[in-house]
């Protein structure tokens, strides 16, 4: 969810794809490119993690939103995929950045362009990835503030998943989301690796109130509901009029999130760029993970997204199906759609030998770390050479709108879950 001015929500037709290119470079042997997808024209991409002898097979899709009042509005989402970061074959990053405000696309593109190099240049990345994440996000925020981009009422969410050997680190600022698909018996269960940072969360709501924010919905601002009632239900039932952040005596900025990169005005009432970091030790039960903007999750639950993704062995089919369903649901409920960006990463060939023991519910250990809320938990890190700061593969912002095409039944094949 963006600023109040950015959520003006449209007709029942898809937008026409615009021209543009997805930039990509790949000069490392472990990166394999297979035949193009019949529906999307996208390559199926794969990269190995030699330290634990498994590979990541992934695809992505971004779709510009449909805005009837602004038919030429650009896609403010951006994304990055960086494999073999710093020349290290065991480190790979997947990120989605959802810009908002007048200069949202500039903000999301700014973060996309800098996040990889910032992590690569941090000598503490292998020793303490959580600390490196915190440093990168705060530095990004400072550099955006010092840039030529006006971030006073614009900014971006940032959700990144860093594969470091057999450990996954997810850093989140905002309301984009990362979800893991976990095998539990003969079921595939969705486990959130991030939690949307909005006033719906009691802890985030109290934090911004302590910083001086007034938290009210539009109906409360307009006198249609009692402003003294500070309970708003949940995002699924009250998402059409979410609680927003306002200055005590002003009708701005109206942000429906509590953390972001940018939004310098909202920072004065508690919006922060400090990420929440989750840590997942991969096991054979972890089948795939999804990183996506809130355009995907506005009307789909995490479990619904995982259920849809699990119906397809090819992540390109899954990206198309989920984007298509998200788009349809937007038009069923609103008169517009949001920008939609999704990355799906399958974990292939993971062996139990050398893998971490299962910890916690469904084999998922999640620890939230934030420099504002005490010291970080100590984490084991994978040590290896990290001397080359250059990125061997970097997929950047895609301006071209991928036409949404849902795979036909002839291409439908469910992801197999082995039991026993």
CA atoms of 28 and 158, how far apart (whole Å):
27
pTM: 0.79
Quote the CA–CA distance of 88 and 175 in Å, as a whole number. 30
Q: Where are the beta strands (DSSP E) in 222-364?
A: 244-246, 253-255, 261-262, 276-281, 286-292, 340-348
Burial of 249 (0-12, 13-18, 19+ CB in 10 A): exposed
Domains of the chain: 44-196+258-348 (3.60.40.10), 198-256 (no CATH)
What is the per-residue burial (b if ≥16 Cβ within 10 Å, else e) of 82-108?
Answer: bbbbbbbbbbbbbbbbbbbbebbbbbb
Distance from C-alpha of 381 to C-alpha of 152, rounded to nearest angstrom: 37
How many other CB atoms are found less than 10 A from the CB of residue 5? 13
315-333 vs 302-309: helix crossing angle, rounded to 10: 140
CA distance 414 to 201: 35
Q: Which helix (H) or strand (E) holds 228?
A: none
pLDDT by residue, tens only, the chain of 420 residues: 544 433 322 233 334 333 333 333 333 334 444 567 665 567 889 999 999 999 999 999 999 999 999 999 999 999 999 999 999 999 999 999 999 999 999 999 999 999 999 999 999 999 999 999 999 999 999 999 999 999 999 999 999 999 999 999 999 999 999 999 999 999 999 999 999 999 999 999 999 999 999 999 999 999 999 999 888 877 766 667 899 999 998 999 999 999 999 999 999 999 999 999 999 999 999 999 999 999 999 999 999 999 999 999 999 999 999 999 999 999 999 999 999 999 999 999 987 654 433 333 333 443 444 433 332 222 232 222 323 333 333 333 233 333 444 454 444 555 554 433
Q: Residue 241 corresponds to which tokens in the numbers above? A: 């009029």
């Amino acid at each position: 969810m963006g600023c109040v001015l950015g959520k003006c929500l449209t007709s029942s037709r898809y937008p026409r794809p615009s021209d543009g290119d997805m930039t990509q470079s790949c000069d490392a042997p472990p990166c394999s490119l297979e035949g193009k997808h019949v529906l999307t024209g996208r390559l199926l991409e794969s990269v190995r993690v030699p330290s634990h002898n498994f590979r990541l097979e992934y695809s992505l899709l971004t779709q510009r939103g449909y805005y009837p009042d602004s038919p030429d509005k650009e896609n403010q989402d951006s994304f990055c995929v960086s494999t073999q970061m710093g020349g290290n074959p065991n480190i790979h990053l997947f990120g989605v950045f959802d810009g908002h405000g007048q200069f949202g696309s500039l903000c999301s593109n700014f973060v996309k362009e800098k996040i990889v190099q910032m992590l690569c240049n941090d000598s503490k990345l292998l020793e303490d990835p959580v600390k490196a994440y915190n440093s990168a996000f705060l530095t990004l925020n400072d550099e955006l503030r010092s840039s030529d981009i006006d971030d006073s009422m614009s900014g971006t969410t940032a959700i990144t998943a860093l594969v470091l050997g057999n450990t996954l680190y997810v850093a989140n600022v905002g309301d984009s989301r990362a979800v893991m698909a976990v095998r539990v018996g003969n079921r595939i269960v969705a486990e959130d690796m991030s939690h949307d940072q909005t006033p719906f969360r009691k802890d985030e709501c109290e934090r911004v109130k302590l910083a001086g924010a007034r938290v009210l919905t539009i109906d409360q601002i307009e006198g249609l509901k009692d402003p003294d009632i500070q309970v708003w239900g949940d995002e699924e039932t009250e998402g059409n009029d979410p609680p927003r952040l306002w200055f005590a005596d002003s009708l701005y900025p109206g942000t429906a999130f509590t953390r972001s990169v940018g939004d310098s005005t909202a920072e004065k009432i508690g919006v922060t760029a400090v990420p929440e970091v989750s840590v997942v030790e991969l096991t054979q039960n972890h089948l795939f993970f999804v990183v996506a903007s809130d355009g995907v999750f506005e009307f789909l639950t995490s479990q619904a997204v995982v259920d849809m993704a699990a119906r397809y062995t090819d992540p390109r089919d899954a990206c198309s199906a989920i984007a298509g369903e998200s788009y349809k649901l937007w038009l069923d409920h609103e008169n517009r759609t949001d920008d939609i960006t999704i990355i799906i990463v399958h974990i292939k060939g993971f062996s139990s030998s050398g893998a971490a023991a299962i910890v916690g519910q469904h084999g998922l250990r999640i620890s939230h770390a934030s420099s504002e809320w005490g010291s970080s938990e100590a984490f084991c890190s994978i040590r290896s050479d990290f001397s080359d700061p250059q990125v061997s593969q970097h997929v950047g912002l895609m301006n071209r709108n991928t036409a949404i095409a849902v795979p036909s039944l002839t291409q439908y094949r469910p992801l197999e879950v082995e039991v026993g």
